[in-house]
Amino acid sequence: MCISSVHGIHCSVSRFAYGFGRCIIGEQDRTIAGVIRVANLCYRKQVTIRYSTNKWVIFDDLTASYILDSNDGATDRFSFSLSLPKCIAVGGRLEFAVRYDAIDIGRTFWDNNQKDNYCFECYARSVPTRDSDFAWMHFL
Protein backbone atom coordinates (compact mmCIF):
# COMPACT_ATOMS: atom_id res chain seq x y z
CA MET A 1 0.00 0.00 0.00
CA CYS A 2 1.07 3.59 -0.44
CA ILE A 3 0.68 6.61 1.79
CA SER A 4 0.56 10.03 0.26
CA SER A 5 0.05 13.50 1.61
CA VAL A 6 -3.44 14.76 0.81
CA HIS A 7 -2.94 18.32 1.98
CA GLY A 8 0.21 20.39 1.71
CA ILE A 9 2.51 20.61 4.69
CA HIS A 10 3.93 24.09 4.93
CA CYS A 11 3.05 27.32 6.68
CA SER A 12 4.81 30.52 7.66
CA VAL A 13 6.39 30.77 11.12
CA SER A 14 5.93 34.54 11.25
CA ARG A 15 2.21 34.33 10.50
CA PHE A 16 1.20 31.55 12.89
CA ALA A 17 4.09 31.30 15.43
CA TYR A 18 4.88 27.83 14.02
CA GLY A 19 5.49 26.12 10.71
CA PHE A 20 6.47 22.81 9.16
CA GLY A 21 9.99 22.45 7.93
CA ARG A 22 9.48 19.04 6.36
CA CYS A 23 7.65 15.75 6.70
CA ILE A 24 9.06 12.40 5.53
CA ILE A 25 7.31 9.06 5.16
CA GLY A 26 9.33 5.90 5.85
CA GLU A 27 8.01 3.08 3.69
CA GLN A 28 9.85 0.21 5.39
CA ASP A 29 9.16 1.12 9.01
CA ARG A 30 5.75 2.77 8.45
CA THR A 31 6.63 6.08 10.07
CA ILE A 32 5.88 9.71 9.42
CA ALA A 33 8.69 11.97 10.65
CA GLY A 34 8.60 15.73 10.66
CA VAL A 35 10.24 18.92 11.81
CA ILE A 36 8.25 21.83 13.17
CA ARG A 37 9.67 25.32 13.62
CA VAL A 38 8.08 27.52 16.29
CA ALA A 39 8.55 31.16 17.16
CA ASN A 40 10.74 31.64 20.20
CA LEU A 41 8.06 33.38 22.25
CA CYS A 42 9.35 32.14 25.61
CA TYR A 43 11.80 29.70 27.17
CA ARG A 44 9.40 26.89 28.19
CA LYS A 45 7.45 25.50 25.26
CA GLN A 46 5.93 22.22 24.14
CA VAL A 47 4.92 20.95 20.70
CA THR A 48 2.40 18.13 20.39
CA ILE A 49 1.10 16.19 17.39
CA ARG A 50 -2.56 15.20 17.80
CA TYR A 51 -3.49 12.42 15.37
CA SER A 52 -6.37 10.11 14.51
CA THR A 53 -7.03 7.23 12.13
CA ASN A 54 -10.82 7.20 12.57
CA LYS A 55 -12.01 10.77 11.86
CA TRP A 56 -11.33 11.96 15.43
CA VAL A 57 -13.57 9.42 17.19
CA ILE A 58 -10.40 8.47 19.08
CA PHE A 59 -7.16 10.45 18.99
CA ASP A 60 -3.70 10.30 20.51
CA ASP A 61 -1.11 12.94 21.35
CA LEU A 62 2.60 12.63 20.60
CA THR A 63 5.02 15.10 22.18
CA ALA A 64 7.65 16.38 19.75
CA SER A 65 11.30 16.57 20.86
CA TYR A 66 13.35 19.74 20.96
CA ILE A 67 16.24 19.67 18.47
CA LEU A 68 19.40 20.68 20.34
CA ASP A 69 21.10 23.86 19.14
CA SER A 70 18.20 24.62 16.77
CA ASN A 71 17.52 28.07 18.20
CA ASP A 72 18.38 30.79 15.72
CA GLY A 73 17.20 33.61 17.99
CA ALA A 74 13.75 33.94 16.45
CA THR A 75 12.73 30.25 16.25
CA ASP A 76 13.28 26.76 17.68
CA ARG A 77 12.80 23.41 15.96
CA PHE A 78 11.10 20.28 17.24
CA SER A 79 11.00 16.83 15.63
CA PHE A 80 8.55 13.97 15.77
CA SER A 81 8.33 10.41 14.50
CA LEU A 82 4.91 8.83 14.36
CA SER A 83 4.63 5.08 13.84
CA LEU A 84 1.61 4.27 11.73
CA PRO A 85 -0.79 1.85 13.40
CA LYS A 86 -0.84 -1.59 11.81
CA CYS A 87 -4.63 -1.27 11.50
CA ILE A 88 -4.26 1.27 8.66
CA ALA A 89 -5.21 -0.54 5.49
CA VAL A 90 -5.74 0.50 1.90
CA GLY A 91 -8.25 3.34 1.96
CA GLY A 92 -7.26 4.30 5.51
CA ARG A 93 -6.41 7.85 6.48
CA LEU A 94 -4.25 9.41 9.17
CA GLU A 95 -5.04 13.00 10.10
CA PHE A 96 -3.09 15.24 12.43
CA ALA A 97 -2.85 18.74 13.79
CA VAL A 98 -0.06 20.51 15.68
CA ARG A 99 -0.37 22.22 19.07
CA TYR A 100 2.29 24.68 20.26
CA ASP A 101 2.13 25.62 23.94
CA ALA A 102 4.14 28.72 24.88
CA ILE A 103 4.05 27.80 28.57
CA ASP A 104 5.70 30.88 30.12
CA ILE A 105 3.20 33.25 28.53
CA GLY A 106 0.17 30.94 28.80
CA ARG A 107 -0.63 30.81 25.08
CA THR A 108 -1.59 27.85 22.90
CA PHE A 109 -1.48 27.84 19.11
CA TRP A 110 -3.12 25.18 16.91
CA ASP A 111 -2.26 24.38 13.31
CA ASN A 112 -4.89 22.21 11.64
CA ASN A 113 -3.95 23.20 8.09
CA GLN A 114 -6.66 25.85 7.92
CA LYS A 115 -9.36 23.41 9.12
CA ASP A 116 -8.37 20.66 6.65
CA ASN A 117 -5.95 18.85 9.02
CA TYR A 118 -2.73 17.40 7.71
CA CYS A 119 -3.63 14.09 6.08
CA PHE A 120 -2.02 10.99 4.71
CA GLU A 121 -4.03 8.39 2.82
CA CYS A 122 -3.16 4.78 2.21
CA TYR A 123 -3.62 3.31 -1.26
CA ALA A 124 -2.57 0.18 -3.15
CA ARG A 125 0.63 0.47 -5.12
CA SER A 126 -0.34 -2.21 -7.62
CA VAL A 127 -2.91 -4.93 -8.10
CA PRO A 128 -1.79 -8.16 -6.36
CA THR A 129 -1.22 -11.05 -8.73
CA ARG A 130 -0.59 -13.78 -6.12
CA ASP A 131 -1.07 -14.25 -2.38
CA SER A 132 2.43 -13.05 -1.43
CA ASP A 133 1.76 -9.74 -3.20
CA PHE A 134 -0.85 -8.80 -0.58
CA ALA A 135 2.03 -8.04 1.80
CA TRP A 136 3.42 -5.46 -0.63
CA MET A 137 2.34 -2.10 0.68
CA HIS A 138 3.83 1.28 -0.04
CA PHE A 139 3.96 4.69 1.63
CA LEU A 140 4.67 7.90 -0.25
pLDDT band for position 9 (cuts 50, 70, 90): very low
41 Cβ partners below 8 Å, 6+ apart?
Answer: 17, 102, 104, 105, 107
Is the confidence at residue 4, as pLDDT, over 50? Answer: no
Length of the chain: 140
Asked if the model's pLDDT at residue 110 lies above 80, the reply is yes
Tell me what pLDDT residue 17 has. 60
pLDDT band at 78 (very low <50, low <70, confident <90, very high): very high
Query: Which whole number is the average pLDDT over 106-129?
Result: 79
Compute the Cα dihedral for 108, 113, 115, 121 and give only its sign: negative
- Tell me which residue of 70, 28, 24, 26 sits closest to 47, measured CA to CA: 70
- Residue 64: pLDDT above 70? yes
Superfamily of domain 9-86+94-116: Carbohydrate binding type-21 domain (2.60.40.2440)
Q: What is the dihedral of CA 101, 19, 88, 93, to 10 degrees?
A: 110
Domain boundaries defined on the chain: 9-86+94-116
pLDDT exceeds cutoff 80 at 99:
yes
Point out the least confidently predicted range of 12-26, 58-72, 80-94, 113-127. 12-26
Task: Give the pTM.
Answer: 0.76
- Give the lowest-confidence range in 6-10, 53-57, 107-111: 6-10
